Structure 1
């Protein structure tokens, strides 16, 4: 049987923010699961880096693990920091920028 979750140790207590590092001037990602209706990915973004505005076919949940981000959903801007979560609904333009370097867990669920 193939595991659906990858790139992470099983049966071990882990701190997600320790599983991805910062790299100067870069956006780093680590895919933990990718199936047709769901994706789970860890990201780290250096200060000033971002993910440009785009639309997804699924609802996206961002959990900030470290640092802080400015997240735009439609015409609204949200400042989200470590320990906070925000949902970006499907088919609504969204993007984000690192106001300070940050790490996030992104979970996208498609219908």
Structure 2
């Protein structure tokens, strides 16, 4: 759907599938921001890394532990958290998860 300005209703969890590796897909991209969908199985981990901008994470399905610097948060379906810029963060699923990042 990159750069698609067509108005239509979508179910975000149906737009990305679970795979044997972490699956990410750009759902929407404009000059201002992009939305990236992720699907991760319970045994997959997004290792610590940082980003140059604050990034909202919205959990669409499942439950995960989010580590930000030295703090740990449990995020459930329907909840969100801001990943602060230039601070290491990691995602460890408690169950299979799907989430969207906006950056």
Q: TM-score, normalised by structure 2?
A: 0.88
Match of 2:35 among 37, 40, 52: 40
- Residue 13 of structure 2 corresponds to 17
Relative distance call for 1:9 and 1:18 in structure 2 (3 A) is farther
Query: Structure 1 residue 35: deviation in Å?
Result: 5.4
Q: Calculate the TM-score normalised by the size of structure 1.
A: 0.82
Q: Report which of the two has the higher share of strand.
A: 1
Q: How many residues align?
A: 103
What 5-or-longer segments of structure 1 have no aligned partner?
A: none
Native 8 Å contact 1:7 1:31 kept in 2: no
1:79 match: secondary structure? strand
- Partner Cα separation in structure 2 for residue 72 and residue 81 of structure 1: 14
RMSD of equivalent CA atoms: 2.0
The corresponding residue for 1:103 is 98
